[in-house]
Chain A
Amino acid sequence: MKRTHTFLFLFLLFIVLTGASFSLPAGQAEIPKVNLPVLITSCGQSTAPVMLKVIFMRLKLEFKPKAYEVKELAAAEDLKAMADSGTPYRSLIITMGASLKGMGAAGISIDDELARTSKLIEEARRQGITIIGAHIEGIKRRAQGAAVGDNTDELSIDAVAPNSDLLIIKKEGNADGRFTIIANEKNIPMIEVEKTLDLIAEFKKLFK
Chain B
Amino acid sequence: MSVKWLFIRKGISAISGLILLVFAGVSFYKSRHLKEPVVLSPGVSQVKKLSEYFTGIKGTINDSNVYILEGEKPGGTILLIGGTHPEEPAARLTTWIFTENAVVEQGKLIVINSANRSASTVTRLGGAYPPDFTIPTSWGGQKFRMGDRWSNPLDQWPDPEVYIHYPSRQELAYVDIRNLNRTFPGRPNGTLTEKTCYALTQLIRKEKVDIVIDLHEAELQYPVISTIVAHQNGLDLAALASMIISGTEGFNIGVEYSPPALHGLSHREIGDHTDAISLLLEAPEPFLDATRGRTDRALLLEGKDEFVVKAGRHGLLFEKMDENGWPIDVRIGRHCSTILQIIELWSEEKPDKTVKVREVPRYTDVIEKGTGYFLRNPAKADPKKIYYE
Give residues in A with beta carbon < 8 Å to B: 45, 47, 50-51, 53-55, 57, 99-102, 104-105, 137-138, 140, 144-148, 172, 195-198
Contacts and interface: CB of A to CB of B under 8 A. Distances in A.
Contact of A101 (B235, B247, B256): B256
B223 interface: yes
B242 interface: yes
Contacts of A146: 223
B246 A148 contact: no
Given A105-B261, A145-B223, A195 B239 contact: no
Contact of B223 (A45, A47, A55, A100): A100
- The main secondary structure of chain B at its interface with chain A is mixed
Contacts of B235: 47, 50
Interface string B310-329: 00000111100000000000
B259 interface: yes
Contacts of B171: none
A29 B303 CA distance: 46
A55 B243 CA distance: 9
A47 B256 contact: yes
B226 to A, nearest CB: 8
B257 A137 contact: no
Nearest to A140: B254
Nearest to A199: B243
A163 B236 CA distance: 29
Given A50-B239, A145-B223, A195-B247, A101 B318 contact: no
A137 B246 CA distance: 10
B316 to A, nearest CB: 6
A105 B259 contact: yes
A101 B265 CA distance: 14
B366 to A, nearest CB: 22
B318 A105 contact: no
A138 B223 contact: no
Nearest to A57: B236
Nearest to B345: A54
Contacts of A104: 259, 261
Contacts of A144: 315, 317-318
In this complex, the interface size class of chain B, counting residues with CB under 8 Å from chain A, is 20 to 34
B259 to A, nearest CB: 5
A183 to B, nearest CB: 24
Contacts of A198: 247
A57 B221 CA distance: 35
Interface in B245-301: 246-248, 252, 254-257, 259-261
B252 A138 contact: yes
B13 to A, nearest CB: 46
From B221, B239, B252, B256, residue with most partner A Cβ within 10 Å: B239
Contacts of B248: 197
Given A145-B254, A197-B243, 9 more contacts: A47-B255, A50-B238, A57-B236, A101-B224, A101-B257, A148-B221, A148-B315, A148-B316, A196-B247
A196 B261 CA distance: 30
21 contacts: A47-B235, A47-B254, A47-B256, A50-B238, A51-B239, A54-B243, A55-B243, A99-B256, A99-B257, A100-B223, A105-B260, A105-B261, A140-B252, A144-B315, A145-B318, A172-B252, A195-B243, A196-B243, A196-B247, A197-B248, A198-B247
A11 B240 CA distance: 51
B110 to A, nearest CB: 27
A168 to B, nearest CB: 14
Contacts of A99: 256-257
B73 to A, nearest CB: 27
Nearest to B226: A140
A47 B315 contact: no
Contact of A54 (B239, B252, B254): B239
Nearest to B260: A105
A50 B238 CA distance: 9
A60 to B, nearest CB: 14
A195 B250 CA distance: 11
Contacts of B224: 101
B172 interface: no
A47 B243 contact: no
A51 B242 contact: yes
Contacts of B256: 47, 99, 101
7 A-B pairs closest in CB distance: A197-B247, A195-B247, A50-B239, A47-B255, A196-B243, A51-B239, A105-B259
A47 B244 CA distance: 15
A138 B247 CA distance: 13
From B224, B257, B260, B315, residue with most partner A Cβ within 10 Å: B257
A110 B316 CA distance: 21
Interface string B375-389: 000000000000000
